[in-house]
Chains A and B, each alone.
Chain A
C-alpha cells in the first residue's frame, strides 16, 4: 500500500502544537486494536498446547513450535487444499478475463445493438445474491454429473466474475482511441487481430487488474464452493479451514494454526499484488 504516495494538501508552517501527537497516538491505538487479532493468531500458532494452557494467549511463546501447524497441515491435507484453490482461482482468472474481453469487445468496441440493455443485464447479474442461483446450480450440476468437481466451480465463477469484467471493460473500451482502431482496420486487420494485436496490448494494465481481482475473489469465495465441493480432496482453503472450525475437539493452538494457514496465502497475494490492488480499488470506485 505504500506504493501510492499521497499528495499532501498543504505545506504550512508547523504550529508548535502538541495536538498532533495526540491524534497520532489515538490512531496508533486504533491500528493496534485492528492488528491485535493477527498478532495473537501468529504467536499462538507457534505455541505448544501446554505452553498455551499455562501461560495464556497473550504471552510470547516459551519456545517456537511448529507442531500445531504441522498437525493441522496433515489433518486437512493442506497441500491438496492449496492446490485446489490455486487451480480453481487461476483458471477462473484466465477464463473470466477472456470472457470479459470477448464480451466487452462486442459491447464496448463493436457497440452492437442493444448494448445498453446487455450491459444492464451483466451489471444486475454481478450484484445477484448467489442464494438465488445456488439450488438450481446444485441440482443441475448433479443432473449433468458435474457435482463435486472443480470444473463446475471454475465454470460458474468464470461466468459470475466475467459479468463484472464485462461491465468494467466495456466502459474502458468505449473510450478506446478511435483513430487507432480505424488505422488498424485500414491496414487490413480483421476483428480477431484487432482484438489481440491492438486492444489487448494497449489495455494490459486493466486486464491485469481484472485478473488479480478475479483470482483473489475466487480464492475468497465460500458459499458456492461449500455447497458444490463436498469431498475432502476437492475443497478449497477457506472451506477446509471454515468447516473444521465447527469441530469440537480442536485445541486452541490448532485453531490458531488453522487461522494462520488461512491468512498466509492472502497475505502473500497482498504483498505481490498490492500495487495492482490499490490501482484497481481506486479505478473501481470511479467506474
Chain B
C-alpha cells in the first residue's frame, strides 16, 4: 500500500507537455470554432454576434441538405458496400481459398485488395480523375478502342454519372480495410467450431451466416463505426475529383464547410457546418465508447 501511494504521485508532470499542446492545438481552436458559429464573420474585422442565425439558415439551406444526402451516398460507398463485400471476401479467402489453395494464395489476394488503401486519398483521386477524364482519360479511350463511342461521357462532369462514379471509386479505395480487419478477426476463431459445423452438415453459406458473421461481430462493429466517421470526413477525393460539382451533385459537408471558410468568406456559417459535423461524430464516438466498455464488463 505504501509503495502504491508513493508510485502514484508525481505522474502529473509527464502529462504536462501533452496537455498544454492539446489545449493549444485542439481545445482552444475547437471552442473558438463553436464561438465563431454564433457569429457572422468574413475572416477579417470583428465578428458580429448572430445567435443561432447560422444554424437556422443551415436547416433551410437546400445546399446543406444536398451535401448531407450525398453523405448518405458516401456512407453506402464507404461503409455498407465495403463491409458486406469485405465480409464475404474475408470468409471466402479464409475458409475456402485458404483451405483449397493454401494460405499463401489467400494472403496474396488480401494484399492485392488492400493496395488502394496505401494511397493518400488525394493521390487515389488523381489516379481516377485521370482515368475518368473526358478527353484524354483511359476509360473513354478504352471504350473508343472497343468501338463503343456512344458509351463515352464526361464521367465526373455529368450530373447523372458524377455521384455514382465517385461512389465506385470510394468502394475501390475502401474495400481493403474491412477485409484486412475481418481476416485478422477470423484468425482468433477456434477452427473446431467450423469442423463441428461441417460434421453437422452445415453448408459453406450456413457456416458463413451462423458462425463467421456472428463471431467477428466486434470487428464488424469497429469497421462500421470507423468507416461511418470516415465517410463524414471525406474531403481529399472530392477536392481532387469534382470540387463538389457539377452543381452540387457531389458536394459533401466537409467540402461545403471548406467553401464557406476559404472561398465565400462565410466563416461563421462554415463554423456552424463544422460544428454540426462534430456533433454527429461525437455522438457516434460516445455510442462506440459505451458499447466497448459494455463489452469489457
Contact = CB atoms under 8 A, between A and B. Distances in A.
Contacts of B114: 1
B18 A133 contact: no
A148 to B, nearest CB: 14
Interface stretch (A73-81, A109-117, A204-212): A109-117
A30 B92 CA distance: 13
Interface in B55-74: none
Contacts of B120: 219-222, 237-238, 262, 266
B18 A162 contact: yes
A282 B223 CA distance: 12
Nearest to A103: B18
B76 interface: no
B239 A106 contact: no
A252 B130 contact: yes
A198 interface: no
Contact of A263 (B21, B25, B112, B123): B123
Nearest to B100: A20
Interface string A1-30: 110111111111010000010011001001
Interface residues of A, number: 105
B165 interface: no
A223 interface: yes
B227 interface: no
A246 to B, nearest CB: 8
Interface string B125-139: 111111101001110
A129 to B, nearest CB: 5
A241 B198 contact: no
Contacts of B133: 252, 255
A55 to B, nearest CB: 9
A110 B11 contact: yes
B101 A20 contact: yes
A185 B141 contact: no
Interface string B78-107: 000000000001001111111111111011
Contacts of B113: 30-31, 34
B136 A238 contact: no
Contacts of A191: 10-11, 14
B239 A135 contact: no
A266 B26 CA distance: 28
B18 A10 contact: no
B32 A136 contact: yes
Contacts, number: 323
B267 A135 contact: yes
B74 to A, nearest CB: 14
B31 to A, nearest CB: 8
A40 interface: yes
A53 B92 CA distance: 42
Contacts of B103: 5-8
A37 B127 contact: yes
Contacts of A262: 119-120, 122-123, 126-127
Contacts of A128: 26, 30, 278, 281-282
A172 interface: no
B111 A2 contact: yes
A132 B274 contact: yes
A128 B284 CA distance: 11
B99 A10 contact: yes
Nearest to B110: A1
B198 to A, nearest CB: 7
B210 interface: no
Contacts of A135: 32-33, 36, 43, 261, 267, 270-271, 274
Nearest to B260: A135
Contact of A285 (B184, B240, B243): B184
Nearest to A269: B118
Given A132-B278, A242-B122, A245-B240, A7 B107 contact: no
B25 A137 contact: yes
Given A7-B103, A136-B32, A166 B126 contact: no
25 contacts: A5-B103, A6-B98, A6-B187, A9-B94, A27-B92, A34-B116, A37-B131, A44-B138, A58-B142, A131-B278, A135-B261, A136-B30, A140-B28, A162-B18, A219-B120, A222-B122, A237-B120, A237-B123, A238-B121, A241-B122, A251-B136, A252-B136, A278-B180, A281-B184, A285-B184
Interface of A: 1-2, 4-12, 14, 20, 23-24, 27, 30-31, 34-35, 37-38, 40-41, 44, 52, 56-58, 99-100, 102-103, 105-107, 109-112, 118, 120, 122-125, 127-140, 155-156, 158-160, 162-163, 166, 181-182, 185, 191, 195, 216, 219-223, 226-227, 237-239, 241-242, 245-246, 251-252, 255-256, 258-259, 262-263, 266-267, 269-270, 278, 281-282, 285-286
Given A127-B284, A182-B3, A266-B119, 7 more contacts: A31-B109, A57-B137, A123-B289, A237-B120, A241-B122, A241-B126, A255-B130
Q: Which 5 A-B residue pairings sit nearest by Cβ, starting from the closest?
A: A110-B11, A1-B111, A136-B29, A57-B138, A262-B123
